[in-house]
Structure 1
Amino acid sequence: MADFPAVARQPHSAYWRSLGDKAVASPNERLVLDLIWRRRAASRADLVRATGLTAQSIMRLVDELIERQLLRMGDPLPRGGRGKPSPAIEIAPDFAYTVGVSIGTDSVSTALIDMGGKVLQQTYVAVRDFDANGLVTLLRKQINDYVRKYKLREERLFGVGVGITGFFVGDGARVNPPLPLERLALIDLETLLTRELALPVWLDNDGTVAAVGESLLGAGRWAANFVYLYFSHGLGGGVVVDGRVVRGSHGNAGEVAAMLPMQKLERPTLEQLRSMLEDDGIAFPDIGEMLASFDPNWLACDRWTRQARRALSLIASAAAALIDPDAIVFGGRIPYPLAQRLIDEITIDNLARRGRGRPEPRLVPAEAPSDTAAIGAALLPFKECLFG
């Protein structure tokens, strides 16, 4: 692979721009690419109506993006009435590929996707107590395996997105993860991985990257504004406003567990559920093993749901008041039946006036494919440079 120089935390757009116009899209190009990506296909007339740009501007933008191989012409779109069908304009999926990485307390999962959003392969490796050297060795192997298996050309591998559980501290480049990831704590992991993998790397917390995945592949298709709750070893999340993920001043927007009063309400986490199961004599070494054997009929699920009700009702009420979102999405590693059970228990504080309360967000299980953090991480390079 090419020897890419190390880069600091935020300037990837400038870095890619230095590689040439093919790597970064202008604001109007982003608008067009994002619309086509979400719709899967569109005509020039569709783009004129959706963007408000002139037909001449759309024709020029589309022609240039086709010439740069980011778009391609597809089969004619069906249409009602008379007249010749318009050719479909589509994302060119083989323009670029990215690898997404999700670093959890008990595992590392990776995903390879093309620019059309198709997940070509996902790989899950159960690991515990690993350090930066072990992580680099594992990721090199995974990336090289993907390159060989799919015969990827070097210049088509756009970059690597990484999601890790924890929050950012200091200059926003160092993650403070839970205790099981002690040996990755407070390291400038993005710069280290960029250097060691010889590829540009985007790093964010797992809740934010999962929200990116949900915005492009799940509820974000109908909800421009949503709060994403990420259930795993801890409780995190992400915030999407007008289709774009909000990171905040320090990269910690969406840290929903911080809303809970200390010492008064326990954080409803999957690690807490694992502990409750252990009290019932059902022991698992980690969350991954628990989820692999998940049974919605476990008595601990009922106790966990009842105990989580107050905390999650508080978080949902605060999110509804602060963000006024279309939806609150229950995702991360939580199984769908358990997410639905939580949703049925939650109440949003909404004092009526003149017999009417505020419009409330929909509470929904995550709609994006499983392992959203790895897929969302894979989408980070595209989101940064080309979409949205």
Structure 2
Amino acid sequence: MKYDPLEHVATHFLRDAQPARVASRNERDLLRLIWKSPGIERSDLTEPLDLTQQSLHRIVARLHERGMIVFSHAEARRAGPPSPELTLRKDWCLTLGIAVNVGSIGLCLMGFGEPLENMEIPQAGDLLSVELERIEAAVEDILARRGAKRRDILGVGLAVAGHRMLETAFNCPLPLAHWSLIDLAPLLGKQLALPVWADNVARTAALAEAIFGVGRDAADFAYIAHLHGYGGGLVSGGMPFRGSFGNAGEFSVLFAREDYDDRPALNQLLEHLRAKGRPGLTLNDLKNEELMGWDGVEEWVDRVMPAHNRAINAICAIFDPALIVLGGELPHSLARMLIERTEFNNLPRHGAVRDVPQLAVAEIIDAPGAIGAALIPLFETVL
């Protein structure tokens, strides 16, 4: 039987109407407007929502009764009766994001649309059952720090490094083989007794960048995730574009097997630097901004630039975004070097060249996959 996380949402989050759901379409549109414009006056919501004043007042009153929004008094700025300012009540719900990467598992605890706390535990071993138990212990730890309970969690977003296969199964890199080709959402959902939505970690990182990072001012952008592997995500209209099979943005597909070693994947940089005399180096060590002075880094950049340029120009040709973000676990200094050396295929025609996207370094550098994953339950239920 197909796993549906909505069937596992706690009843105290559901509205008193059928079908059972957290919010109606009109309620979700209203909540998202308030989330994007905290303090917006109720009277300013009528036009963008295309609702009558009577309908709007009824929906706002219902959400206020449920404790989802907070009223505050607006300063008198116009003629007529005052209209209350509306904000989301941040403690109405919690969501949890869990991002499984090679070497680390990141967690993000989020209030009603606002990140509260991040933590990271090592990813190690080859038994999925053990890693699920360690995740559960970490969840209890992060909740205890906030004085919260598991019943306060609306839902969990699980982000996994790997190609999406069927439902919530992923084909992961070799160090995550024990996470591969298994329907993960029902397993984690049973472990935590919570509803779980799952996606690729590069796409959840792109979502975090779209909402909280440099992508918040760009409706359409591409995110390149430099992780153990080399993937990414596409954001269209402010939301992730997943494609028919859930794998839009898998930039590694641009490269044949014989080209894999020349991709700008961080595991390739690790192998290169280990061969240069740093045998104990880990992915976490690459976050050191001093690595630009390490022997072998510039040599590696020279080697991967053709692959980097191929990916950039393929994105331009197929997606035509206004912005391309270099993110994942890529150090900012290394990202800037790649940007400075980028070459666009942009031959002039009739003396004119076409517009090309801006290249930018990701702003969300701490647990981007987990932050984006924590947003998924909200976008699936209330926003």
What is the SS of the residue equivalent to 1:93?
coil
Bigger shift: residues 173-182 or 122-131? 122-131
Q: Among 51, 54, 59, which residue is 2:57 paired with?
A: 59
Q: Among 227, 233, 236, which residue is 2:231 paired with?
A: 236
8 Å CA contact 2:94, 2:154 repeated in 1: yes
Q: How many Å apart are 1:94 and its aligned residue? A: 0.3
CA–CA separation in structure 1 for the residues paired with 2:335 and 2:51: 41
Unpaired segments of 5 or more residues in structure 2? none
Q: Among 266, 271, 276, which residue is 1:275 paired with?
A: 271
Matched, 1:139 2:135: yes
What is the SS of the residue equivalent to 1:130?
coil
CA–CA separation in structure 2 for the residues paired with 1:264 and 1:127: 28
* Cα 1:107/1:230, change in 2 over 3 Å: same
Q: Which amino acid aligns with 1:284?
A: G
Q: Which amino acid aligns with 1:259?
A: L
Q: Among 359, 376, 381, which residue is 1:380 paired with?
A: 376
8 Å CA contact 1:37, 1:116 repeated in 2: yes
Matched, 1:96 2:89: no
Match of 1:342 in 2: 338
Aligned residues between the structures:
377
**Normalising by structure 1, what TM-score?**
0.87
Q: Among 150, 173, 182, which residue is 2:177 paired with?
A: 182
CA–CA separation in structure 2 for the residues paired with 1:46 and 1:295: 51
Match of 1:117 in 2: 114
What is the SS of the residue equivalent to 1:236?
strand
8 Å CA contact 1:168, 1:252 repeated in 2: yes
CA–CA separation in structure 1 for the residues paired with 2:186 and 2:111: 24
- Identical aligned residues as a percent: 32
Q: How many Å apart are 1:288 and its aligned residue? A: 1.7
8 Å CA contact 2:100, 2:160 repeated in 1: yes
Q: Which amino acid aligns with 1:41?
A: G
CA–CA separation in structure 2 for the residues paired with 1:113 and 1:51: 27
Match of 2:202 in 1: 207
Matched, 1:68 2:69: no
8 Å CA contact 1:232, 1:332 repeated in 2: yes
| Alpha-carbon RMSD | 2.7
What is the SS of the residue equivalent to 1:329?
strand
Q: How many Å apart are 1:220 and its aligned residue? A: 3.4
Matched, 1:246 2:241: yes
Q: Which amino acid aligns with 1:107?
A: S
Show the 5 A alignment for 1:77-92.
87-92=84-89
* Cα 1:52/1:123, change in 2 over 3 Å: same
Q: Which amino acid aligns with 2:138?
A: Q
CA–CA separation in structure 1 for the residues paired with 2:56 and 2:311: 43
* Cα 1:184/1:17, change in 2 over 3 Å: closer
* Cα 1:25/1:230, change in 2 over 3 Å: same
**Normalising by structure 2, what TM-score?**
0.88
1:120-141 CA-partner distances (Å, limit 9, x unpaired): x222122323321111111111
Q: How many Å apart are 1:84 and its aligned residue? A: 8.9
Bigger shift: residues 220-229 or 347-356? 347-356
Q: How many Å apart are 1:234 and its aligned residue? A: 0.1
1:28-65 CA-partner distances (Å, limit 9, x unpaired): 32222223223343223443454455544443433332
What is the SS of the residue equivalent to 2:155?
strand
Match of 1:300 in 2: 296
What is the SS of the residue equivalent to 1:194?
helix
Q: Which amino acid aligns with 1:194?
A: G
What is the SS of the residue equivalent to 1:296?
helix
Match of 2:189 in 1: 194
Unpaired segments of 5 or more residues in structure 1? 1-6
Bigger shift: residues 247-256 or 263-272? 263-272
